[in-house]
Amino acid sequence: MLRYPVKLQRDTNGTVLVSFPDVPEAHTFGDDREEALARAVDALETALMGYMEDRQTIPGPSPFRRGPYVVLPALTEAKLALYSAMRAGRISKTELARRLNCHLPQVDRLLDLGHSSRLDQLEVAFHTLGKQLTVQILDAA
């Protein structure tokens, strides 16, 4: 589970600002704490997509301490792990498409954090990279 700490602070106009110490490009706001945290996942995913477009390493979350945090959806976490595995193996999107015997837009969708990819497609992609995708179910906090 990717749990990114957030920093919340009041703005001069009364809104609540959200920033991420680990991802300085991600910012959002809300009228109150709940709305700000609800928007935070989208802001974080958008910033992480920018890292992927720029072919940068995805910054991991700081070790969890106390305070507010945002948990990324499991599908987002799987897509980030696929991207990181491709980088580590120096596998381009074109090469992954060749190995999967599919078209490049299909690989683009596998890496698109806004696209609802199917888990079985991600499993095949990981297998192609010599990895195995697993699922872990935990009690809710």
d(CA 3, CA 64): 7
Per-residue buried b or exposed e for 26-58, using 16+ beta carbons within 10 Å of the residue's own CB:
bebbbeeeeebbebbbebbbbbbbebbeeeeee
Amino acid identity, position 123: E
pTM of the model: 0.90
pLDDT at residue 136, rounded to an integer:
87
The 10s digit of each residue's pLDDT in 69-110 is 999 999 999 999 999 999 999 999 999 999 999 999 999 999
d(CA 40, CA 28): 6
Below-50 pLDDT ranges, the chain? none
Would you say 116 and 78 are in contact if contact means Cβ atoms under 8 Å apart?
Answer: no
Note the CATH architecture for domain 3-71. Answer: 2-Layer Sandwich (3.30)
pLDDT at residue 141, rounded to an integer:
65
C-alpha closest to that of 44 among 77, 90, 83: 77
The full set of domain ranges for the chain reads 3-71, 74-128
Edge to edge, the sheet with strand 16-19 lists 7-10, 16-19, 27-30
3-state SS, one letter per residue, for 32-88: CHHHHHHHHHHHHHHHHHHHHHCCCCCCCCCCCCCCCEEECCHHHHHHHHHHHHHHH
pLDDT at residue 67, rounded to an integer:
82
pLDDT at residue 138, rounded to an integer:
83
pLDDT at residue 10, rounded to an integer:
93
pLDDT at residue 66, rounded to an integer:
81
pLDDT at residue 65, rounded to an integer:
77
